[in-house]
Amino acid sequence: MATTVKNLMASDTKVLQSYLGGKWQVGAEGGAALVNPTTGDALARASSRGLDLKSALEYSRNVGGAELRQLTFGQRAELLGKIADVLASGRDEWFEIARKNSGNTKADASIDVDGSIGTLKYFAKIAAKLGNARLLRDGAPMRLARDANFQGLHVGVPLDGVAVHINAFNFPAWGLWEKAAVSLLAGVPVLAKPATSTAWLAQEMVSAVIEAGILPPGALSILCGSPNDLLDHLQLGDVVAFTGSADTGESIRQHKGIRQQNVRVNIEADSLNAALLGPDVAPDSVAFGFFVREVVREMTIKAGQKCTAIRRVLVPAERAAAVGEAIAALLRAVVVGDPANPLVNMGPLVNMTQRKTVEEGIRKLKAQAEFAYWPEDFSPMDANLEKGAFVPPTLLKARSGSDAAIVNELEVFGPVATVVPYRDKENAFELARRGGGSLAASVFSNDTAFLAEAGVALGTTHGRLLLVDPSIGDSHTGHGIVLPSLMHGGPGRAGGGEELGGLHGLWFYHQRVAMQGSAATLASLAEQSCDPAAE
């Protein structure tokens, strides 16, 4: 049985266990420490040393996969709803863990925890209408020859392997469940590998679901600690969905076994996302206020530790000073410190290693930019700057948009953004594309024709575009918020992957097969399947 939240907080040993092969297991002594980034105090340790990952994968494939594939889409949808209910009942505990281990404010934790619960509920709802189907289909049977009885149909058969989900440190809850929801719905068992530094929340959530007995044996596993030789044991039929750095993503793609067996891989990597202010927007306009507010929100929510956060603020050259001053004015009101204090609205980075990385990134950006806002006398509220992983919100301004190469190459994963001036709209689109492929970009303008033009111009290098005119200034969900109904991913350096996207996401966990046969045979297959695009 997994260590409970209460016992983990009180125990002298504080060990995170892994749930593999249908049982809780403890790695050998040692392992990595999980810390409170506000105080630097150790919270727990996680070790996977000595765990038999080959057997764990085999159990997931042979037991979990077989059980899940016996269920219909409708039955699996019911399971997702039950998981959401269990997680919702532990919401207060998840928020407390997020505060202690990730340095989250309540607003930060809500994006992660409530976002995960909401995603599960969404897929439970939309998949309920798939009913008794167990297969996917793409369109209707089609005639293939002069004989109308000879037909073809594209069918999706659920993969018979295991989905290995390798998640990032910034969203231990949402990262776990947004991937698991689609995989479990597809009938493919999950082995989740959360980032060790914040694995506590993911492990406790999995523990709650396992204890509730919702899923078939082997349908859900979790590995806490190093991945060790996990990738060595993957085979045809398995899939890997990874969120994290581009370098790690590339190492996964180049893994010998994955390349040789062409194991399916989805990568969501780092990204230099941009917010673009249209050339028509004046400093005294409503659209200008919406733009500035969104930049500040993206800089400070989760201390800027979001793969979708705004890193580059593209503005007309004649507006650069006004934009910098307006953003700085709002940043001065941000209270950074211990998230236990309700007055605090930005907490620390995840650990001291990340703090040092961000501080070094700021120094590199300074080579081609200058500070537009940076508090020299920074002191976090109710916290010790020497012990906590605190970095103040930092705004820089590039001297020249065309010459600031490093701004378009280096992502500083923290509360940092750079104002980049542009000459005209063509130059603005060019600068946005210099990110080399991004997860998201936002464009703010009063001119809907310009917004549509920007959408087309930026479409090839971005996975998602938020086009904001004043009519949706207060109603849109935000630049950095990923919605389960829309695709999440991006081209180029963003990884080239796709996650979520409603029922479209099911195809990643299915093999698309071109079936050829008689009308009666294909009608039988069609009866067992559903077309998610038509639902």
Alpha-carbon distance 159 to 237, whole Å? 5
Q: How far apart are CA 470 and CA 10, in angstroms?
A: 51
How many alpha carbons lie under 13 Å from residue 475 in its C-beta half-sphere?
4
Identify which of 275, 274, 282, 293 has the alpha carbon closest to the alpha carbon of residue 474: 293
Taking the C-alpha atoms of residue 123 and residue 113, their distance in angstroms, rounded to an integer, is 16
What CA–CA distance (Å, rounded) separates 293 from 481? 15
Pairing outcome for strands 150-158 and 135-143:
antiparallel
Q: 85-111 burial by CB neighbour count: b if 16+ within 10 A, else e?
A: ebbeebeebbbbbbbbbbbbbeebbeb
* Residues forming beta bridges with residue 166, ordered by sequence position: 193, 242
Token digits of residue 420? 């980049």
> With DSSP H G I counted as helix, E B as strand and the rest as coil, what are the percentages for the chain, rounded to 5?
40, 20, 35
Strands 487-488 and 499-500: antiparallel
- Residues designated catalytic: 268, 307
Picking from 212, 300, 268, 331, the residue whose alpha carbon sits closest to that of residue 491 is 268
Rounded Cα distance between 69 and 374, Å, is 55
Helix (H) or strand (E) run with residue 154 in it: strand 150-158
Distance CA 471, CA 490 (A): 27
